[in-house]
Amino acid sequence: MLNWFSRNEVERDIISPNSRVRCHFSLKNGQLLYSVYKNDKLIIRPSRLGFLICGEEPLVNNLKLVREQKKKHSEVIELPWGEDRYINNNYNESTFYLAEKKNDKRIMTLRFRIFDNGVAFRYEIPPQPKFSQITIKEELTEFNLDLNTIAWKIPAYQPDRYEYNYEKTNVFNLNHSVHTPLTLKTPNGFYLSIHEAALYNYGSMTIKLNSRQALTTDITPLSDGTKAHVSLPFNTPWRLVMLADSAIELTTNRIMYALNDPPSSDFSWVKTLKFIGIWWAMYVGEWTWAPGERHGATTEHAREYIDAAVRLGIQGLLIEGWNEGWEGDWLENGVNNKFTVATPDFNLEEVASYARSQNIELVGHHETVGFIDNYEKQLEAAYNYYAANGIQYIKTGYAGSMMTINGRREFHHSQLGVNHYQKTVELASRKKIMLDIHEPIKGTGIERTFPNLLSREGARGQEYEGGALSPSHACYLPYTRLLSGGMDYTSGILDLANSVKRMSTTLARQLAYFVTIYSGMQMAADRPFIYEERFPSEFEFIRAVPTNFDRTLPLAGEIGEYYVVARKDHDSADWYIGGVTDETPRRVHIPLDFLDSGAYEATIFADSDDAHYRDNQFGIVKQNKHVGRTDSLDLYMAPGGGFAIQLRHI
Ligand code: NOJ
């Protein structure tokens, strides 16, 4: 439907396909407002929309509606890899074409999409006579919630980027900016998560309370104090509010992907990967990244690890510390990193050729320490070097509290950072390279458009074990960080009682992570001898668990307390179930009615009754039995524990 008119006062309801979600949009006295209801209960109170543009009047009031367009959309999207192969993209869209009543008659479009499980909108600034480029001073979008809404937050603008423990607080305490996805529970019992989708060429959105006591966007600034310099036409990222009746329902909200574009070229070469690495040995002090007597990335070690990967039945091997730049204080000296020069004791050509002969995929490594000028100068040559050696997977890293470019320090999450990460993803896609980005920009679903972006870190991972991770951390992730996509959590560290890095988990829980924390590049992070010599039967589970799923079925959980999920393999009729709990022991009852008909062989790894993450980490019960869809399972999770189940269709 298309309407042509020019109106100063507008009130519109945009209703979701199932009529349960309603967005109310209004234009009154030139001011734009929206509010959101679910089941007729108010969730987002009237909230302001608009921008401040440098050198211009605010693009926020004195607006009139010039034209309005409505559209219904219904589609099933097939994703090449991930947690769910098919996702729904069903929404009702309303687009409001706005113009200023006076001054230069600037124009702006607001596009709303209302889904059964969320609301999304974005600003579109078309080309216009007076502007071909603009500098955004501030975005004024609000998410005006009841101040007693509970929030699960990590702080923004901190030196460790997204790597903080989640804290539960109330909206009235959000005086300092926090990252998204920002997950919340309203006093009337609804769950929501505020996030963004398709973040391109713009500062990342953080959230804080403004002087009106409404949550508002705080776009990560550039070092010149502005938020973004853009050419027109320009679309902002989608502002996304995921909605659910329960915490567990929130965890499979896939609107973020639906709001991103399909790929524009062929990505059939992309394959998810499970890999081991010359990696944890550095964390536990056996080897070093830097050259020297205990250097990890030597040709000899690499050959040994390739042989181990073959024996273990794992497809990939990551090698860190192979290049020049790790000597001395590698964080301070990162500006000197060379990405095409190996250390004298590492022969990349020989290692790559041996890996190829053994059918092992090498995962290359670029630790930039955030010196992106140094990296960008070498980017093309560095990717070519790996590609010429048949290396198609690269883990990148941006350790360093800020990004440094020509002496300027910028936030990883600023427009400059966003554009840098995008440059790497696009160049990698042209070279048929797949990426696992550590210290990344948060996920906003762009892997739908660029499926070669297989994973990210972007939260505290297991490298924080040995003191800085509590059992609740991995019980927050599914409801918070993982709403923005998969995570390389570096699961499967079974040497739990290591004196340098003691894990805050039980043994069964390390296996559970392969199901509860999805990653398109999934690392079996411990050293191979731990798997081969100490835990061969546990490793069988790690080897078998897929990195690509057809379907994900969240079964039970509460934010920061526990999480139980079942996932069906993409390539077989097998299912996997994982569960994790915080410090509280729990029993869960799982009816298996989601299985197909026929028999399944269940292999169960569960905590023993006396297991405990502090003093009995290895207490495990292993069980094999035949089950079908009329059966159910009862599982125990010890403090800091969990369970992992393989259900093999027979
Ligand atoms: C931090 C990354 O998360 C970790 O995986 C990597 O080993 C170190 N940086 C060194 O690059």
Contact 33, 26 (CB under 8 A): yes
Which of 556, 630, 645 lies closest to 593, judged by CA? 630
CA of 192 to the centre of ligand 1 (A): 32
pTM: 0.97
Distance 397 CA to ligand 1 centre (A): 6
Residue 225: partners with Cβ closer than 8 Å, 6 or more residues away: none
Identify which of 438, 455, 460, 489 to mutate to test ligand 1's pocket (most ligand atoms within 8 A of the CB): 438
Ligand 1 atom 1 nearest Cα: 399
Residue among 367, 395, 464 whose CB has most ligand 1 atoms within 8 A, to mutate = 367
Task: Give the residue, by CA position, lying nearest to ligand 1 atom 3.
Answer: 438
Q: What confidence score (pLDDT) does residue 7 get?
A: 62
The CA 313 to ligand 1 mean position distance, Å, reads 25
Helix H, strand E, coil C: the string for 321-381 is CCECCCCCCCCCCHHHCCCCCECCCCCHHHHHHHHHHCCCEEEEEEECCCEHHHHHHHHHH
193/588 Cα distance (integer angstroms): 26
Whole-Å CA distances, 82 to 458, 518, 644 = 17, 8, 19
Helix or strand (DSSP H, E) at 217:
strand 215-219
- How does pLDDT run across 226-271, given as a tens digit for each residue? 999 999 999 999 999 999 999 999 999 999 999 999 999 999 999 9
Question: What residues line ligand 1, using a CB cutoff of 6 Å?
Answer: 320, 367, 397, 399, 438, 457, 463
pLDDT reported for residue 3: 40
Question: In this structure, which residue's CA is closest to atom 10 in ligand 1?
Answer: 367
Q: Which of 463, 491, 523 to mutate to test the pocket of ligand 1 (most atoms within 8 A of CB)?
A: 463
Q: Which atom of ligand 1 is nearest to the CA of 283?
A: 7
* CA nearest ligand 1 atom 5, residue: 438
Q: What is the pLDDT of residue 185?
A: 98
DSSP letters spanning 421-450: HHHHHHHHHHTT-EEEESS-PPP-SGGGT-
Q: For residues 184 and 495, what is the distance between their CA atoms, to the nearest angstrom? A: 36
**What pLDDT is attached to residue 104?**
64
Atom of ligand 1 nearest to the CA of 438: 3
CA distance 179 to 529: 39
Q: Facing residues of 52 across strands?
A: 138
- Can you count the helices (H) and strands (E) in the chain? 11, 40
The reply to whether CATH 3.30.465.10 applies to domain 2-258 is: no
Q: How far is the CA of 280 from the centre of ligand 1 (A)?
A: 10
Residues of the chain with pLDDT under 70: 1-8, 103-104
What pairing do the DSSP bridges indicate for beta strands 76-78 and 562-569?
Answer: unpaired
CA of 613 from ligand 1 middle (Å) equals 25
Model confidence pLDDT, tens digit, residues 189-209: 999 999 999 999 999 999 999
Closest approach atom of ligand 1 to CA 282 = 7
pLDDT in tens, 471-529: 999 999 999 999 999 999 999 999 999 999 999 999 999 999 999 999 999 999 999 99
* d(CA 487, ligand 1 centre) in Å: 14
Nearest ligand 1 atom to the CA of 457 is 3
CA atoms of 375 and 377, how far apart (whole Å): 5
Minimum-distance ligand 1 atom for the alpha carbon of 289: 10
| Centroid of ligand 1 to alpha carbon of 598 (angstroms) | 44
Nearest residue (CA) to ligand 1, atom 6 = 397
3-state SS, residue 406: coil
Sheet holding 133-139, edge to edge: 51-53, 133-139, 228-231
Q: Closest ligand 1 atom to the C-alpha of 367?
A: 11
Instruction: Give the residue, out of 163, 275, 287, 320, with the most ligand 1 atoms within 8 A of its beta carbon, to mutate for a pocket test.
Output: 320
- For residues 23 and 26, give the distance between their C-alpha atoms in angstroms, rounded to a whole number: 10
How many angstroms does the Cα of residue 310 sit away from the middle of ligand 1?
25
Distance from Cα 217 to the centre of ligand 1, integer Å:
30
For residue 567, how far is its CA from the centre of ligand 1 (angstroms)? 29
What is the spatial distance between Cα 619 and Cα 603, in angstroms, rounded to a whole number? Answer: 17
Distance 457 CA to ligand 1 centre (A): 10
Name residues whose C-beta falls within 8 Å of residue 266's C-beta, 6 or more positions apart in sequence: none
The closest residue, in CA terms, to atom 11 on ligand 1 is 367
- Ligand 1 atom 7, closest CA: 279
Query: Ligand 1 mean position to 438 CA, how many Å?
Result: 7
pLDDT of residue 128: 84
The string over 245-257, giving b where at least 16 C-beta atoms fall within 10 Å of a residue's C-beta and e elsewhere, is eebbebbbbbbbb
Ligand 1 centroid – CA 543 distance (Å): 23
- The mean of the pLDDT values for the chain is 96
Structure token pair of residue 566: 């079942």
Contact 444, 194 (CB under 8 A): no
Which DSSP state fits 531? I
pLDDT at 552: 98
- Using alpha carbons only, what angle is made at residue 340 by residues 336 and 345, rounded to the nearest 5 degrees? 90
Q: How far is the CA of 321 from the centre of ligand 1 (A)?
A: 10
Centroid of ligand 1 to alpha carbon of 423 (angstroms): 21
Atom of ligand 1 nearest to the CA of 395: 5
Which residues share a beta bridge with 113? 93, 120
**Ligand 1 closest atom vs CA 439:** 3
Q: Ligand 1 atom closest to Cα of 397? A: 11
Please give the structure tokens belonging to residue 454: 């297989």
Atom index in ligand 1 nearest the CA of residue 279 equals: 7
Q: Is the peptide bond before 591 cis (omega within 30 degrees of 0)?
A: no
The owner of tokens 């309603």 is 22
Sign of dihedral through CA atoms 106, 233, 51, 149?
positive
What CATH number does the domain located at 273-548 have?
A: 3.20.20.70
DSSP code for 173: G
Q: Are the beta carbons of 14 and 25 closer than 8 angstroms?
A: yes
Ligand 1 centroid–CA 396 distance in Å is: 9
Q: Residue 1 has what pLDDT?
A: 35
CA–centroid distance, 444 to ligand 1, in Å, is 22
Strand-pair category, 63-73 with 31-38: unpaired
Residue 461 CA: nearest ligand 1 atom is 3
Rounded to the nearest angstrom, the distance between the alpha carbon of 393 and the centre of ligand 1 is: 16
| Domain ranges, ordered by start, for the chain | 2-258, 273-548
